[in-house]
Amino acid sequence: MIGGVPSISEDLLELAHAYGVATEFHDWRGRRVDVPAPTVEAVLSAMGVDVAQPGLALAAREDERWRRTLPPCVVATQGMERTFWVHVDDGAPAHVTIDLEAGGHRDQVAQVDRWVPPREVGGRRIGEATFAVPADLPLGYHRLRLRSNDIEADTTLIVTPAWLGLPERLRDRRLPVFDRVFDEVRKRLAYQFAIAMQWRGLGLNPKRQAVVFRQRLVEFVDALRDVRGVEIRHVVTRLSRFSARDHQERIEGTDQAI
C-alpha cells in the first residue's frame, strides 16, 4: 500500500507486461511514477482480461502464444541481428524459408542454439525453436514459411532500414523552409521575452502576461513537434501569422494592452 493506494502485485505486473500495458512512467520532473494497481486492473479489464486471478490469466496468455506456430509478424532492422520463435510438436523438425517481396527465395534459414523447455498446452506437448533473420535481407515485406512434417504456416517478415534521413541530393543542402520556420520561432519568443523583461518598468500585469507567455511556449513546443513529424507546411502556416513587420510593431508597442 503506497499513499492509501494498493501497490501492484508481481502477478499483476507480469500480466500487464504480457499485454503491453505500462506500469510506470516519468512525470514532467523526470521522476519515476508507478501506476496504481486499480488503474492497471481497469485497463486490463477494458481489454477483456479477467484480473480476478492474475496468475491464471497470465498462464492463459502464455498458452495463447504457445498455440501459435509463428509470431503474428516479425520486424527486423536491416543489418542487425533478429531472432524469432517457432512452435512445433516437441521433437519434430522445423524448416524455415523466406519468400522475398521482389521475387527470389531464401532457403535454410539458420536455427539458433537456444533450448527452451517444452510446454503442455491442451493435451499437446509443444516445443519451441529459435531462428535468426538473415542480416543481408533486402528491405521489404517478405513471407516467412515454416514446414514441420505435415504442418505448414507462414507470417509477414518486415525488414526496415537502419536509418532514415534526407535523400542524398538534399543531404548537404540547407532547406530554406527550415530557416523560415526557426526564424519565426526565434522572433515570436523574442517578442515574449521583451514583454517579460519590461513587466516592472511598464506596470504590466505579471499574472496575465505569464499566461500569454506560457501559451506561446506551448505553441513553440507544438511547432517543434510538427517539425519532428515533417509537417512543414502546417508549421509555416502556424508561425507565419506574425510577419517581421508585425513583430517590430509589437516590440515597439509593448506598453499597450494585449
C-alpha to C-alpha distances, 240 to 71, 182, 220, nearest whole angstrom: 48, 11, 13
Contact at 8 Å (CB) between 70 and 146? yes
Amino acid letter, residue 108 = Q
What's the pLDDT at 113? 93
Q: pLDDT tens for residues 215-237?
A: 655 565 555 554 444 444 444 44
Contact at 8 Å (CB) between 87 and 78? no
Q: What is the mean pLDDT of residues 203-208?
A: 52
What's the pLDDT at 205? 54
CA–CA dist 154, 140 (Å, integer): 16
| Domain locations along the chain | 10-64, 69-160, 173-252
Specify whether domain 69-160 bears CATH 2.60.40.150.
no
Decide if pLDDT at 240 tops 50: no
What's the pLDDT at 88? 96
C-alpha to C-alpha distances, 205 to 144, 178, 236, 251, 255, nearest whole angstrom: 66, 35, 31, 17, 11
Q: pLDDT tens for residues 27-49?
A: 888 899 999 999 999 999 999 99
Mean pLDDT rounded to a whole number for the chain: 78
Decide if pLDDT at 239 tops 50: no
- Grid cell 531462428 in the structure block, residue: 131
Q: What is the mean pLDDT of residues 101-120?
A: 92
Top-confidence residue, 38 or 178 = 38
In 3D space, the residue among 188, 193, 249 whose CA is nearest the CA of residue 219 turns out to be 188
Q: CB-based contacts of 198: which residues, under 8 Å, 6+ apart?
A: 204, 254, 255
Q: 47, exposed or middle or buried, with CB in 10 Å at 0-12, 13-18, 19+?
A: exposed
Q: What is the mean pLDDT of residues 140-154?
A: 95
Ranges of beta strands (E only) in the chain are 24-26, 32-34, 73-77, 83-89, 95-99, 105-106, 111-112, 119-121, 124-132, 140-148, 151-160
- Grid cell 506500469 in the structure block, residue: 23
Top-confidence residue, 239 or 72 = 72
Confidence band, pLDDT 50/70/90 cuts, at residue 248:
very low
Comparing 1-15, 49-63, 136-150, 186-200, which segment has the lowest mean pLDDT? 186-200
CA–CA dist 87, 124 (Å, integer): 11
Share of the chain above pLDDT 90, in %: 53
